[in-house]
Structure 1
Amino acid sequence: MARVPEEERWKIVQYSLRGYSQRSIGALVHRPLKTVNRIIQAYSEEGRLCDAPHRRRPKATTEDEDALIVAAVVENSFQSARQVREQLDVNASLATVRRRLRSAGLRNSVAARKTVVTASNKKSRLQFAEAHASWMADDWGRVIISDESTFTTRQDQRMRVWRTRGTRYEPANVQGVAASGRNCVNVWGAVSRHGLGPLHRIEGALTSQRYCTKILDNVLLPYAHSVFPDADFMFQHDLAPVHTAKVVKEHIENRRIGMLSWPAKGADMNICENIWGYIKAAMVRKPVHPSTGDELGAAVRQEWEDLRADYDFVPALYASLPSRMAAVVSAKGCMTKY
């Protein structure tokens, strides 16, 4: 029932002081007998017209326990509220543990996934970014950027992490991604400042020799000569073992392909990664997911072709490359938000 206004309470008390019965008062003010009795009793016993002060329940946790809860996820931000409660043996509900963490400015979010980088990786990444810090979008526009990706019908499990706002890409909050041993549908793709280039499905194991003939000779070079007829371009690929084999290096030299030396673990600097991410997100949103390799391959190609029609997408990624270099320099070689 709605709260009784104080002036109405005073009217009820006045009726009582004049000798009216509580039942009569209830009829006059249109209130239940129980309400009238409560108001009159409060006035006669305590001289009070307002509501009694609410007695707050004691906190389920002490201040020391609150501090331990927060400290537990600061030490290991990937713990769940249940794990924290069990670790500390706190007599509190999971909702209480979560409230204590949120009140400390922490929120439970899906962890960003980035490749784990070693100290050596950080050094080479930083050196590369510093060497290309002065490159503008036009400089990057001479580079054909390539990458391989694996698509699967099963989505990898994402971990959750407790973190403060704006710290998604802090190293302590990032989920490391190991190389996948699964072979579903593997593709190779390339882009240039002119937009999306060719997409090639890799059938079977990609050996160094097959990389030279099936991809470099049959796919890359015809595309490169079509968009750079003056042959004024550079080619980029990562340091995957297939790419760094002696036979590949000799093949590239024989074909006189200018190369952009790329650092290990440079995924956040490779704009193809953004394209793969976009395609995978688009496929997840589909109401019906591919169930066979051929269906999956066709779906990936369709998304690639649909994205080709967005003429601003790839140029915007090229325009982001100077900022990516600056971000790596600022992060001292650590992984960045890209």
Structure 2
Amino acid sequence: MAATQRKELTEFQRGEIIGAWKCDFSIRKISEILKHSKSTVHEVIAAYKEGFETLPSRSEASPITIKRYLHKNNIYGRVGAKKPFVNAANKMKRLKWVKQKVKWINEWENIIWSDESKFEVFGGDGKRYVWRTPQEKYNLKCLIPTFKSGQESVMIWGCFVKNKLGPLVKLEGKITANIYVKEILEKHLLPFINNLEDKENYIFQEDNAPIHTANIAKKWKEDNNIASLPWPAQSPDLNPIENLWDELERKVRNHRPLPKNQDDLWKILQEEWLNLDEKIYKNLVDSISRRVAAVIENKGDPTKY
């Protein structure tokens, strides 16, 4: 006797299975309620987990059919969100750091946030697309890891506190620790700190770039009584100046006329930096407690910030 061919499930039936599973029903319960075998329910869920969603059989899956099924499941092609790669050791360091700061509230207002960044005159956006739901933008499986590159660019250094922007400095050529101390810390950071009210209460934040951690830089900060905030590696999502750079880049992209060369770009950067809305950087500092909580929730993995 010939074996009976199992009937292909309809789109609606597969959607019912996935919907019940997403509502935390067990495979046994789904099988019981929807009158499908447990093996069938398991196969549909397994296919969904592997990224096939509730697609029909291969013979039916034309590109148009696939697109329709993906859209029905609220999945669309979107640019993959980029986040720096974080290795296992640094995940643990991030977790340790945020747990030590979890009760900080007003303390964040006394941090001088700093960083270097690059802004390109021309170039592609490097966008790569992923399939995801709107809620999965920062799901690890939907992220595009980013790594540092050496593309030609205008490099800048800047800093700010909750209620005040600091200087914006153009960096030219190779920046050594000695140049960092003399041209940035000495000429720009120190005057900024000296103009802050209750300056002795402020703590300077910088990442772990070699020029920041070099002995000459450490000694200069000690000699000038500038306290430093220890910083976990691979943690740009904890530094609100990264979001300020994003805002600055948006303003530069919307600026008319567009920059034609590096000199134009530098002029526009200075202009737009001074025009940043104070509410933006105040809100960014107010977000630090939420960033800390997000790192804890993600167990050290990158967050949406």
Question: TM-score, normalised to structure 2's length?
Answer: 0.79
Q: Which residue of 1 aligns with 2:100?
A: 131
Q: 1:155 to 1:228 in 2, by over 3 A?
A: farther
**2:7 alignment partner in structure 1:** none
What secondary structure, in the 3-state scheme, does the structure 1 residue paired with 2:170 have? Answer: strand
Higher Rg of the two aligned structures: 1
Structure 2: gaps of 5 or more residues: 1-9, 15-39
CA contact (8 A) 2:193 2:199 kept: no
Are the equivalent residues in 1 in contact too, given 2:177–2:211 (CA < 8 A)? yes
Note the C-alpha offset of 1:317: 1.1
Match of 1:146 in 2: 114
List per-residue Cα deviations over 1:237-284 (Å, max 9, x = no partner): 001121122222222222221011011111011010011001112222
Q: 1:203-214 counterparts in 2 under 5 A?
A: 203-214=172-183
Question: Would you say the 8 A contact 1:114–1:177 is kept in 2?
Answer: yes
Pairs within 5 Å for 1:45-124? 74=51, 93-124=62-93
Would you say how many aligned residue pairs link Structure 1 and Structure 2?
264
1:136-166 C-alpha deviation (Å, 9 max, x unpaired): 0x21111111011000022421111111231
Distance 1:148 1:328 in 2: 23
- Counterpart for residue 33 of structure 1: none
Q: How far did 1:210 drift?
A: 0.5
Structure 2 residue aligned with 1:184: 153
Contact 1:190–1:197 (CA under 8 A) maintained in structure 2: yes
SS of 1:312's equivalent in the other structure is helix
Q: In the alignment, is residue 324 of structure 1 matched against residue 301 of structure 2?
A: no
In structure 2, the residue matched to 1:174 is 143
Deviation of the 1:95 alpha carbon: 2.4
Q: Using the alignment, how far apart are the partners of 2:168 and 2:50 within structure 1?
A: 43
1:281 aligns with 2:244: no
Amino acid at match of 1:208: A
Q: CA separation of 1:183/1:246 partners in 2, compared to 1, >3 Å: closer, same or farther?
A: farther
Contact 1:148 1:187 in 2 (8 A): yes
Confirm or deny that 1:218 pairs with 2:187. yes
Structure 2: how far apart are the matches of 1:200 and 1:149?
10
Contact residue 194 and residue 227 of structure 1 kept, 8 A: no
Q: Secondary structure at the match of 1:162?
A: strand
Whether 1:235 aligns to 2:204 is yes
**Does the 8 Å contact 1:73/1:162 carry over to 2?**
no
Q: Give 1:128's aligned amino acid.
A: W
Offset of residue 71 of structure 1: 5.4
Cα gap change, 1:146/1:105 in structure 2, threshold over 3 Å: closer, same or farther? same
Q: What do you get for the CA RMSD once the two structures are aligned? A: 2.7
CA distance in 2, matches of 1:90, 1:231: 71
CA–CA separation in structure 2 for the residues paired with 1:145 and 1:112: 24
- 1:198 is aligned to 167
Alpha-carbon offset, residue 106 of structure 1: 2.0
**5+ long unaligned stretches in structure 1:** 1-58, 78-87
Shift of 1:209: 0.4
Are the counterparts in 2 of residues 111 and 168 from structure 1 also a CA contact under 8 Å?
yes
